[in-house]
């Protein structure tokens, strides 16, 4: 089978889950002998443009003629059996859906977030969950400065999504939506998406446990709790800080980068038992996780199929995470970890203390996490599911 995979990569060092998923699926398909044609762009390319080109590129978020033409030419010359799109925003634009569809090729989109419901993709208004824009009245974004806390940028994004809502770009130009959890499916059905076009498939990660050795860092205690991922508001970074404002005797190792990095670093300097390592390359990061006791993940947004959570399970570690989105499906309370109500700082403190003080329970939960990984997130099982989706449309 010949597959055209299209993706808008985030900036280098962001360690975004959708970037990782895209790379993993490309490797998986190629390892099974399929021909993968890759058409990708990176947000780093935007940063390197001059002011005029940046303005043109920003306008291209509505409709990118360059990317439309490129995808159309690839479809004409290479004739892929399937076009599989991961992330189109911001630089590729919805024009690529039209390019593929007008070429007579079936189009599949993996929904890594809630962008088709919330143009900001986080379903957050400030720090509160919000899906109001599912009704298509996107210009309320301007009032609340939803996109990067800017009315102007919110206006631009609202206009882009209103235009494509009117044209039904996300309905007519896509043949199949791969959702990552039940919550995503529920949100799409509530705003009128065709249930026949929706299928659920979890992400996967290679079997990390078999290949990684735990890393011991000299200046960090032998036993510690881990947070790793994007250092952003939506990942619950400020919730994490509030938790460790209360916890004073449990070591916390934090790895990642993002917009709240400087704030987190300043806070961590005043905490005796908090160790902020910044961005760490993935394999080294996971080796540090493997040496930890368990992982805490107080995200305040819907996680699609969090790579942090399934990587943690592959390493045989328990999870304590927020009781929303994908976490509802990955964590069974008291079996492989704990789920805590959204924003419940004291609830996190209680569960962290409980698990920290029960090493045997911590180990048992880690073993259960590993079993859950083996049952749900192995690459070969995922390959079978992905190929079935392709063949159904091909």
Give the tens place of pLDDT for each residue, 92-111. 999 999 999 999 999 999 99
Q: Determine contact, residues 96/88, Cβ cutoff 8 Å.
A: yes
Angle at 197 between CA 194 and CA 199, to 5 degrees: 120
* For residue 239, pLDDT beyond 90: yes
Whether the Cβ atoms of residue 336 and residue 315 lie closer than 8 Å to each other: no
Better-scored residue on pLDDT, 65 or 208: 65
Do 179 and 199 contact (CB within 8 A), yes or no?
yes
| Mean pLDDT of the region 64-80 | 97
What are residue 41's DSSP bridge partners? Answer: 8
- Predicted local distance difference test score (pLDDT) of residue 264: 98
Task: State the CB neighbour count (10 A cutoff) for residue 175.
Answer: 17
- Check pLDDT > 70 for residue 351: yes
Does residue 63 sit in the same domain as residue 108? yes
In this structure, what token pair is assigned to residue 84? 């599989």
198 in Cβ contact with 177 (< 8 Å): yes
289 in a structural domain: yes
On average, the pLDDT of the chain sits at 95
Based on the fold, state whether residues 385 and 335 are members of the same structural domain: no
Q: Is the pLDDT of residue 391 over 80?
A: yes
Q: What is the pLDDT of residue 47?
A: 82
* pLDDT for the residue numbered 57: 85
Considering the domain architecture, whether residues 106 and 181 belong to the same structural domain is answered as: yes
344 domain residue, yes or no: yes
Judge whether 231 and 258 are in contact, CB under 8 Å: yes
Average pLDDT over residues 148-166: 95
Q: pTM for the whole thing?
A: 0.95
Question: How many whole angstroms separate alpha carbon 225 and alpha carbon 47?
Answer: 35
Which among 206, 166, 171 has a CA at the least distance from the CA of 188?
171
- CATH code of the domain covering residue 338: 3.40.50.2000
- Whether 130 is in a domain gets the answer no
End-to-end CA gap in the chain: 9
Q: Are residues 387 and 343 in the same domain?
A: no
For 9-61, write each residue's pLDDT tens digit: 998 766 689 999 999 999 999 999 999 999 999 998 888 888 888 888 888 99
Q: Both 82 and 187 in a single domain?
A: yes
| 356 is a domain residue | yes
CA 131 to chain centre: 18
Domain identity same for 180 and 278: no
**pLDDT given at position 49:** 83
Residues 230 and 327 in one domain: yes
Same domain, 332 and 388: no
**Per residue in 251-299, pLDDT tens?**
999 999 999 999 999 999 999 999 999 999 989 999 999 999 999 999 9
**What is the Cα–Cα distance from 128 to 84, expressed in whole angstroms?**
32
Q: Average pLDDT, stretch 316-333?
A: 98
Say if 41 falls within a structural domain.
yes
Residues 229 and 372 occupy one common structural domain: yes
Work out how many domains the chain is built from and give that number: 2
Decide if 248 is inside a domain.
yes
Q: What is the domain extent for residue 21? A: 2-112+175-204+378-393
For residue 373, the Cα-to-chain-centroid distance in whole angstroms is 18
127 in any annotated domain: no
246 shares a domain with 281: yes
- Residue 154 inside a domain? The answer is no
pLDDT of residue 140: 97
pLDDT band for position 368 (cuts 50, 70, 90):
very high
Calculate mean pLDDT across residues 154-162. 96
- Mean pLDDT along residues 314-342: 97
CA distances from 98 to 21, 58, 217, 346 (A): 24, 19, 51, 49
State how far the Cα of 37 lies from the Cα of 119, in Å rounded to an integer: 28
Rg (CA), the chain: 21
356 and 320 within one domain: yes
What is the mean predicted confidence (pLDDT) over 308-326? 97
Q: What is the DSSP string of 294-306?
A: EEEE---S--SS-
Residues 226 and 263 grouped into a single domain: yes
**Stretch 177-202: mean pLDDT, rounded?**
98
Tens-digit pLDDT profile for residues 112-140: 999 999 999 999 999 999 999 999 999 99
């Amino acid at each position: 089978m010949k597959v055209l995979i299209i993706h808008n990569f985030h900036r280098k060092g962001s360690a975004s889950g959708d970037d990782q998923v895209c790379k993993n699926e490309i490797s998986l398909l190629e390892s099974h002998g399929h021909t993968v044609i890759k058409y990708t762009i990176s947000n780093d390319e935007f940063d390197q443009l001059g002011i005029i080109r940046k303005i043109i590129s920003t306008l291209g978020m509505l409709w990118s003629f360059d990317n439309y033409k490129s995808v159309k030419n690839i479809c004409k010359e290479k004739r892929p059996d399937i076009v599989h799109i991961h992330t189109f925003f911001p630089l590729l634009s919805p024009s690529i859906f039209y390019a593929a569809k007008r070429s007579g090729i079936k189009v599949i989109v993996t929904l890594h977030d809630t962008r088709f419901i919330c143009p900001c993709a986080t379903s957050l208004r400030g720090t509160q969950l919000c899906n109001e824009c599912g009704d298509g009245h996107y210009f309320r974004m301007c009032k609340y400065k939803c996109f990067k806390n800017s009315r102007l940028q919110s206006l631009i994004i609202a206009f882009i999504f209103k235009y494509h809502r009117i044209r039904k770009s996300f309905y007519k130009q896509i043949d199949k939506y791969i959702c990552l959890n039940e919550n995503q499916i529920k949100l799409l059905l509530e705003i009128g998406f065709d249930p026949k076009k929706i299928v659920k498939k979890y992400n996967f990660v290679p079997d990390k446990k078999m290949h990684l050795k735990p890393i011991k860092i000299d200046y960090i205690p032998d036993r510690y709790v881990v947070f790793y991922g994007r250092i952003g508001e939506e990942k619950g970074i400020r919730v994490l800080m509030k938790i460790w404002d209360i916890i004073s005797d449990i070591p916390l190792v934090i790895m990642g980068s993002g917009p709240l990095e400087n704030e987190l670093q300043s806070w961590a300097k005043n905490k005796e038992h908090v160790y902020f390592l910044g961005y760490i390359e993935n394999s080294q990061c996971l080796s540090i996780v493997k040496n930890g006791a368990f992982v805490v993940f107080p995200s305040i947004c819907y996680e699609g199929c969090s790579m942090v959570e399934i990587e943690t399970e592959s390493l045989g570690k328990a999870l304590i995470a927020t009781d929303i989105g994908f976490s509802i499906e990955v964590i069974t309370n008291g079996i492989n970890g704990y789920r805590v109500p959204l924003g419940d700082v004291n609830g996190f403190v209680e569960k962290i203390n409980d698990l920290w003080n029960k090493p045997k329970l911590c180990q048992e939960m880690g073993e259960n996490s590993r079993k859950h990984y083996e049952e749900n997130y192995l690459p070969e099982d995922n390959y079978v599911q992905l190929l079935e989706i392709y063949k159904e449309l091909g």
